[in-house]
Amino acid sequence: MSIYKNIFHYYRGQTSKGSEDTKQLQIENNTTKAFINVLQNSSQILTMKLTIWLGLNGNEKDTFEYMYQVSNELHRKTPQAVVIGIAETKNMINNLQMKKYYIPDGAILSENVSILIETKIGLNSYLEINQLEGHKKRFAINQKVEKNIILTWSDIRNFLQEQYQFFKQSNDVLTCFLLEQFEEFCVINCIGGAKTNEYFFLQFEKVKAQKLARKIHDYIWNESGYQDIQDAGTKDGIGYKRVRKPKFATLSIQRQRHFILHIGKKEERLGLSIQEEIDKVLSRNFHRPDYEIEKYPHEAYIRLEWVDSFEQIKPYIDLAYNLR
């Protein structure tokens, strides 16, 4: 599935405006909304199980109400109330700057429980103690409030994955679909986990390209018979190298997302002739600007969505491996 076909993934489009902080805030808001949407549109049993998992008194007869960005005070007292904070870690900071009003990111309400939710994403974004305490002012007057519950996104993902098995056995197609979509959304955006191979596979927009990326990875590691493969460790994709030698291939998510073959030594300029061969095989020319040709003459590029069969590019992977 393309990352932009994921029902929760927000497409920002191409823009030169906005900082990384703005982008992170968009993802943070979208993650909260996605989590609440899963609960709201799934079986009510899922939310009931969540309240029990949180140590609250879940009731099978509960009917839940869901809110996003809670700007008004709650007027109904419930037997239990709690603020839960969700972030990448359970580490918290004490921000001494107090605000008059704090707005919880979401809420789950029933006759028995009132839950206010604060979320953070990113390894450098921490829950703030003052913010969590400030959220308690949103509860009804004289509401007894439980001790704050601090969770990680990894905790949330693990809980939902466990519930997926329950709903799969009960053949709840809609709930399973929403849980699958939320898990994929978390993988795409590195919520509750580091960048995995699956994260990089999903960055390729076409389903065809994603399948081929997985096939390339499986071939290099398991099917090729290569005896001395190592992870090359690159932040913009998955790199493959031989022991004590440079990379010979990279599944790259930079620019237009493509597969790079690093062929021989730079001064040999073999990438240029191999690029011509690959372009003829695929009947498509990979355009490379002059400055890039001069900088990387030992590299050949493959757009995975142009490949009809893995067998078309397999010989060139072997060639890159052998010439490194």
DSSP line for 4-55: GGSTT-----S-S-S-HHHHHHHHHHHHHHHHHHHHHHS-HHHHHHHHHHTT
Distances (CA, A) of 36 to 107, 117, 140, 152, 182: 8, 10, 22, 16, 10
CA distance 271 to 27: 38
pLDDT digit string (tens) for the chain, length 324 residues? 455 578 887 655 444 444 445 556 677 888 999 999 999 999 999 999 999 999 998 777 889 999 999 989 998 999 999 999 999 999 999 876 667 778 999 999 999 999 999 999 877 789 999 999 999 999 999 999 999 999 999 999 999 999 999 999 999 999 999 999 999 999 888 899 877 888 888 888 788 999 999 999 999 999 999 989 999 878 889 999 999 999 999 999 887 789 999 999 999 999 999 999 999 999 999 998 999 899 999 999 999 999 999 999 999 999 999 998
Q: Which residues contact 46 (CB under 8 A, 6 or more apart)?
A: 38, 39, 163, 167, 175
CA 224 vs. chain centroid, Å, equals: 30
Q: Which residues contact 211 (CB under 8 A, 6 or more apart)?
A: none
CA distance 25 to 12: 12
249 close to 220: Cβ distance less than 8 angstroms: yes
Nearest to 35 by CA among 126, 115, 94, 129: 115
| 201 token code pair | 């596979």
* Ranges of H-type helices in 136-227: 153-169, 173-188, 197-203, 207-218
Side-chain-side CA neighbours of residue 166 (13 Å): 11
- What pLDDT shows up at residue 20? 47
CA distance 122 to 25: 10
CA angle 44, 48, 53 (to 5 degrees): 145
CA distance 127 to 132: 8
CA distance 89 to 154: 9
